[in-house]
Structure 1
């Protein structure tokens, strides 16, 4: 677990020791506002952030092996138009990240009620590229909470009456939204990997 404080300090929680410890910050985050969501892929944690000085979106990473921070890619170049110079890019809430299997996904607005889904391609190079998978119509970026293994987006749709929402699945081919019959509030989806690891209890 990694925690970045408001004073631009980073701490790592290690399960073996059960304690927090400070790590060196080789990148300055004083002018950066982080999105609440984060994605972990191949031992690397990704965050989407907005820089108040450059007025650009940033895709930062933390390598759990080397314990170093860095910028994954100049996302304003690889994802065109809405992330490049658009005044609406100043609202970080209009963008989000997720993942499909072990690939990073960036969600960007496309008009008033549409959302583009971009997937990062590593291709063995230092500067990855992005490809657009599809465009979701009549949805909010903030309603996206994850993806199924078949790449279908899962959304938290709030009802107009009452406080309960319903989990829904968007089908890119038919552009239909189907309810799953699962109701509640503040849904969250996280991925996991099964390991044959023995836990020692004292």
Structure 2
């Protein structure tokens, strides 16, 4: 599958393209792009099944707000609203308060600014609801967001404890969800599992893992099972049959005398506790299921 020209331009210009998320058969990527006359934060929404993409450029001057450079500490989420099928991007900018603002009496170390882009509207705007002032200390991890059932989820730190922040793509409301077993030395990763939010949790040793599933009604987590992994192996996603996709990272190859790291993807069956090779020798930050769609069919082709 060939990437659209807009993504190739980012890779050629900046050498780095970040994956934002996927929803309804669409993928969203972002990267910094330096044009002839200006520089941009570029976002690309791509439907590989119909080979169409839409490019959204945010000029550098639009990234400057009253508290500093919005390109720093920015977390982006992408999803399709299930009711309107409109494409939305959410930029959460966690801004440090400059010294001159602290002299004026500001007590918080950070501000949170949120902007929402809808493809139908074509402009960035503030969401319908605002983050409350008590959330000023929130810090959202740079991990790729997870989109499930009309919600975007991010991991976050809130008052020095882990939490999950959700954004309703329909009402544009933010909600804070407690992580299971809220212990400071635990680590978490978010994934899509059974059309709900799955959480993989492990301790400092990173050998014993717990898998939790969010109940969409009670908004509480149910523990599914516990499993163990060798050192340097990691979970990167789930298959539709609930098997975990594991990056097996303990093999090396020698190429012209140079030792190179080789990552192999395997599937883990929770019931039988067996690992099965998937036939891919490639590193992977995260994996997600894919469903074909016709979204973007009515949009101008920017390939």
TM-score (norm 2): 0.54
Q: Which runs of 5+ in 1 are unaligned?
A: none
Counterparts of 1:86-125 in structure 2 under 5 Å?
86-89=183-186, 94-109=187-202, 112=205, 113-122=207-216, 124=217
Q: 2:137 aligns with which of 11, 31, 52?
A: 31
Q: Within 1, Cα distance between the matches of 2:156 and 2:144?
A: 10
Tell me how far 1:152 sits from its aligned partner: 0.5
Match of 1:144 in 2: 235
> Residues 165, 37 of structure 1: CA spacing in aligned structure 2 closer, same or farther, 3 A cutoff?
same
Could you tell me whether the CA contact under 8 Å between 1:96 and 1:142 is conserved in 2? no
Tell me how far 1:201 sits from its aligned partner: 4.4
Q: Within 2, Cα distance between the matches of 1:25 and 1:47?
A: 17
- Structure having greater relative contact order (Cα 8 Å, sep ≥ 6): 2
Pairing 1:171–2:269 present: yes
Could you tell me whether the CA contact under 8 Å between 1:107 and 1:141 is conserved in 2? no
Match of 2:118 in 1: 14
Moved over 3 A (4+): 27-30, 139-142, 191-198
Q: 1:134 aligns with which of 216, 225, 230?
A: 225
> Residues 201, 39 of structure 1: CA spacing in aligned structure 2 closer, same or farther, 3 A cutoff?
closer
Tell me how far 1:63 sits from its aligned partner: 0.8
> Residues 201, 87 of structure 1: CA spacing in aligned structure 2 closer, same or farther, 3 A cutoff?
closer
* CA offset digits 1:68-116 (Å, max 9, x no partner): 2121x333xxx23xx2xx3414xxxx21111113111111115731100
Could you tell me whether the CA contact under 8 Å between 2:114 and 2:126 is conserved in 1? yes
Could you tell me whether the CA contact under 8 Å between 2:146 and 2:191 is conserved in 1? yes
More deviation, 96-105/19-28: 19-28
Q: Within 1, Cα distance between the matches of 2:286 and 2:204?
A: 26
Match of 1:49 in 2: 156
Q: Within 2, Cα distance between the matches of 1:192 and 1:67?
A: 25
TM-score (norm 1): 0.78
Cα RMSD, aligned residues only: 2.5
> Residues 155, 12 of structure 1: CA spacing in aligned structure 2 closer, same or farther, 3 A cutoff?
same
Could you tell me whether the CA contact under 8 Å between 1:114 and 1:139 is conserved in 2? no
Tell me how far 1:196 sits from its aligned partner: 4.9
Q: Which has the larger radius of gyration?
A: 2
